[in-house]
Chain A
Amino acid sequence: MEAQEMKEKELVPIFIMGKRYEVPSSLTIQKALEYAGYQLVRGCGCRGGICGACGTVYRFPGSYKIEVGLACQTMVQPNMYLTQIPFFPATKSVYDIEKVNPTIETLMKAYPELLRCLQCNTCTKSCPMDIEVMDYMAAAMRGDVTRLAELSFDCVMCGLCTSRCPAEICQYNIAILGRRLYAKYVAKKAEHLAAMVKMVETGRYDPMLKELMETNEETLKTLYTAREVEPEQADEYWTPKDKTYL
């Protein structure tokens, strides 16, 4: 345990935009920037690895390799040369989601540069979320909206792929178009949901809800305690014994 603590207090040199700072080796890049004295405005968002604000690129001396990570998720390493890329200009096609089809034509019309893709795999290597970006681009070029949506689902839209694409493509905006097309037009609609919306609109539940809204706390507590709880391991088609309030 003590050895652990010693290790955490150990300072390591890192180079923020070329300038040397010594920071505790136990920190993420984001916390190291703050330790160095930065108050972050750009390049900091959710601090939890999902918002895509803190895309960061770095290299080590003597290595040809460009490494990438989210600053809030990546631990500092000695002698890393890093810079954040908090923003990179992107193309965003404006479309009417009601008036498009889940086809290759839609993708090509919105992003004609899609066909410039060289399949060089730089995008995949630049993705801090380990997404197979090149593969979803290939799916996009085939017009396979389903595959495009599935493969790109974890995208945080940080823009690192776009910053490095030799074909100047904005992959992540193509991906979200793909996901929206898939979810709206390819995936089957939830029929039970549409049915429920109709039932709510007919006012079916209003009398019973009104009863709850007007009753006293004691009655509410009794009803709450007595309510039938769907067993956790029940299958999808479980139904309750008491159907009075359905």
Chain B
Amino acid sequence: MAYTRELKELIKKVEATRPARVEKKKRGEEFHLLSLKERQERLEKYHPDFKAGSKREIRVGPSKGYAISPEIVDLLEARSRLNPDLIDLNKIAYETDILVIGGGGAGTAAALMAQEHGARVTIATKLRHGDANTMMAEGGIQAASKGEKDSPYFHYLDVLGGGHFKNVPELAYTLVTEAPKVHAWLENLGCMFTKFPDGRLRALHGGGTCRKRMHYAADITGAEIMRTLRDEARNRVQDIKVLEFSPAVELILNEHGHCAGAVLYNLETEEYFVVKAKAVVMATGGSGRLHIQGFMTTNHYGATGDGLVMGYRAGVKVCFLHTVQYHPTGVAFPEQAEGILITEKFRGAGANVLNIDGEQFVNEREPRDVESSCFIRECAEVGKGIPTPAGKMGIWLDSPMIDMLMGEGAVKREFPGKYILLKRFGIDISLEPMLVYPTLHYQNGGLEYNNRCETSVPGLFSSGEVSGGVHGENRLMGNSLLDVCVFGRIGGVSAALYVKEKAKDGRLTLEHVRRYHKELEEAGIITDRVAPMLLPDYSNPKVRERQLTAHYIGTIR
């Protein structure tokens, strides 16, 4: 779907202002950055988190009274997929030292480190190993790696500034000090970072960074990290078993209150079965597929917040879920690619963002929440958004500038993934700007944990996007791949040490699920909602009406 005639007309305005903007860039003149006070004003007026009705208090469980997105509250105020009375916990299908729930970046990093510390590991994953948001992260991974201009001190300041200074300090400390080690680990595993010929890591800015410390592997950094970690896990097949198409639906505790495994569901044969473990690492990722406030999302098909539900029912509090991250630049046109992520690296490489007149209205490198708020303001209040054929609004992202700044061929070289993607739709992003709009991107908060990845439930560890605190109220670019590697590794090590030193065998139980059901009833929540959701339902509702004998539990037939 190439640009329509109307849009091509509008692109002329972008082209008209381009030479002057490129010259300004070359002189080092930037559109002014907002002060902290101005940032706050934009957020409060335009960010979706501040919209009336965007939050509701949870009525049950360990964080009762905490107000978060209603879409997540609905999951927490739902019944288990399981009737605990129907499953025989004595019938154990698999037994392992450590069960890792989730086969993305965090889960796989955890599995590798746990294995290195002597544990036998089973990874349970909803779809295929590697089907996760990690695979989709594009722009890069942050670390202060160049001592002559950067240090973990500045990385820490940036992380906190992005997170509105609310981040849990010990978590942010661990993130920034582990960052260089994680990069060295990845380099050593054979992860193909983009480098200068002398081996120096190429780096760019991200929104809200004070030093160029965003390292990358072209524009498929997450895919490169994920396929490397997965290949390594497959090399350790003796100790790391993977159960695909087998999402966990409930944690199992034991009589001592320790986490001792999970009930998994075979999506293909529709059986439930028990995995017994001495420790569990929760690494299920985020929840973009809940489409909070109806937003389109960049997230993976399986990002339905399952780990939040399971952890919460087992007694772990949730935190920082009152903020949700909207990435400023999701595809707004063509409609077929709607919501797909356009990496922040485009802006890091110098591409301006522009309104319908081809004018700048915000610096392209504000933190994501601020940048998104400014886009929404430009469209909704100023009225200078670009109308799409589908009747929505968009903002121009002026990618052709990058060739003019970095040399001809830079767009194709630095952004091969996006270049091919849009080329398929008849748009050449080295010649034409992209049309973008904010899209639901990241679950800033999650399960409460500490910098050893321990939760309040002994034997249950939490790693990656399912957890909350490290990014405060807003994550910066390049810190999620970092998060999954740093806390994935730590989760694996902590779980392995726990297995050696503290794990205590005991009778398995789902009593916490029964208690949770009772609590729901006592709170007057009579519902047939079930959670975890497992998969969003995108099938045709008209077809469903004709499925006269079908029976759905939640979204799954």
> A residues engaging B (CB < 8 A)?
1, 4-5, 26-28, 31, 34-42, 44-51, 53, 73-75, 92, 94-97, 129-130, 149, 153-154, 156-157, 176-177, 179-184, 187-197, 199-200, 205, 208-209, 212-214, 217, 220-221, 223-225, 227-234, 236, 238-240, 245-246
User: In the complex, A50→B181 CA distance in Å?
Assistant: 27
On whether A188 and B147 interact (CB within 8 A), knowing A200-B180, A220-B165, A225-B36, the answer reads no
Cβ–Cβ < 8 Å partners of B30 in chain A:
232
Cβ–Cβ < 8 Å partners of A225 in chain B:
35-36
Q: Is the CB of B421 within 8 A of A49?
A: yes
On whether A190 and B145 interact (CB within 8 A), knowing A53-B131, A209-B177, the answer reads yes
Q: Is the CB of A228 within 8 A of B25?
A: no
On whether A39 and B556 interact (CB within 8 A), knowing A48-B340, A192-B146, the answer reads yes
The 0/1 profile, CB within 8 Å of A marked 1, for residues 118-160 of chain B is 0000000001101100011000000111111111111011101
On whether A212 and B153 interact (CB within 8 A), knowing A1-B389, A157-B227, A199-B147, the answer reads yes
Q: Is the CB of B170 within 8 A of A213?
A: yes
User: In the complex, A193→B201 CA distance in Å?
Assistant: 8
Q: Is the CB of A230 within 8 A of B211?
A: yes
Cβ–Cβ < 8 Å partners of B181 in chain A:
197, 200
Which of A50, A73, A205, A221 makes the CB contact (< 8 A) with B151? A205
On whether A36 and B228 interact (CB within 8 A), knowing A48-B341, A187-B192, the answer reads no
Further contacts, 4 of them, CB under 8 A, given A179-B190, A229-B210? A26-B336, A35-B540, A188-B199, A231-B28
7 CB contacts below 8 A, A to B, read A39-B535, A45-B135, A190-B201, A196-B146, A240-B211, A245-B151, A246-B151
B90 interfacial contact with A, CB 8 Å: no
Which of A5, A27, A193 makes the CB contact (< 8 A) with B145? A193
B231 interfacial contact with A, CB 8 Å: yes
Q: Is the CB of B157 within 8 A of A212?
A: yes
Which of A130, A179, A224, A234 makes the CB contact (< 8 A) with B192? A179
| A157 to B, closest residue via Cβ | B227
Cβ–Cβ < 8 Å partners of B6 in chain A:
1
In whole Å, how far is A170's beta carbon from the nearest beta carbon of chain B?
12
Which of A36, A195, A197, A236 makes the CB contact (< 8 A) with B543? A36
Instruction: Give residues 159-191 of B contacting A (CB, 8 Å).
Output: 160-161, 165, 169-170, 172-173, 176-177, 180-181, 183-184, 187-191
Cβ–Cβ < 8 Å partners of A39 in chain B:
535, 537-539, 555-557
Cβ–Cβ < 8 Å partners of A187 in chain B:
192, 195, 199
Q: Is the CB of A51 within 8 A of B556?
A: no
Cβ–Cβ < 8 Å partners of B184 in chain A:
193-194, 197
Which of B192, B220, B556 makes the CB contact (< 8 A) with A50? B220
User: In the complex, A179→B143 CA distance in Å?
Assistant: 23
Choose the segment among B53-61, B232-240, B505-513 that binds chain A (4+ C-beta atoms closer than 8 Å): B232-240
The 0/1 profile, CB within 8 Å of A marked 1, for residues 217-228 of chain B is 010100100011
B65 interfacial contact with A, CB 8 Å: no
| B331 to A, closest residue via Cβ | A48
Which of B193, B223, B301 makes the CB contact (< 8 A) with A47? B301
Q: Is the CB of B149 within 8 A of A48?
A: no
Q: Is the CB of B190 within 8 A of A180?
A: yes
Q: Is the CB of B301 within 8 A of A97?
A: no
Q: Is the CB of A46 within 8 A of B152?
A: no
User: In the complex, A190→B183 CA distance in Å?
Assistant: 10
Which of B188, B198, B335, B340 makes the CB contact (< 8 A) with A184? B188
Cβ–Cβ < 8 Å partners of A38 in chain B:
539
User: In the complex, A200→B173 CA distance in Å?
Assistant: 12
In whole Å, how far is A64's beta carbon from the nearest beta carbon of chain B?
23
Cβ–Cβ < 8 Å partners of B527 in chain A:
none
User: In the complex, A233→B349 CA distance in Å?
Assistant: 9
Which of A180, A193, A230 makes the CB contact (< 8 A) with B212? A230
B197 interfacial contact with A, CB 8 Å: yes
Cβ–Cβ < 8 Å partners of B190 in chain A:
97, 179-184
Q: Is the CB of B128 within 8 A of A189?
A: no
Q: Is the CB of A46 within 8 A of B135?
A: yes
In whole Å, how far is B49's beta carbon from the nearest beta carbon of chain A?
19
B271 interfacial contact with A, CB 8 Å: no
In whole Å, how far is A106's beta carbon from the nearest beta carbon of chain B?
12
Q: Is the CB of B152 within 8 A of A200?
A: yes
In whole Å, how far is A49's beta carbon from the nearest beta carbon of chain B?
5
In whole Å, how far is A230's beta carbon from the nearest beta carbon of chain B?
5
Q: Is the CB of B136 within 8 A of A183?
A: no
In whole Å, how far is A180's beta carbon from the nearest beta carbon of chain B?
3
Q: Is the CB of A153 within 8 A of B218?
A: yes
In whole Å, how far is A171's beta carbon from the nearest beta carbon of chain B?
14
User: In the complex, A153→B135 CA distance in Å?
Assistant: 14
Q: Is the CB of A213 within 8 A of B300?
A: no
User: In the complex, A180→B232 CA distance in Å?
Assistant: 10
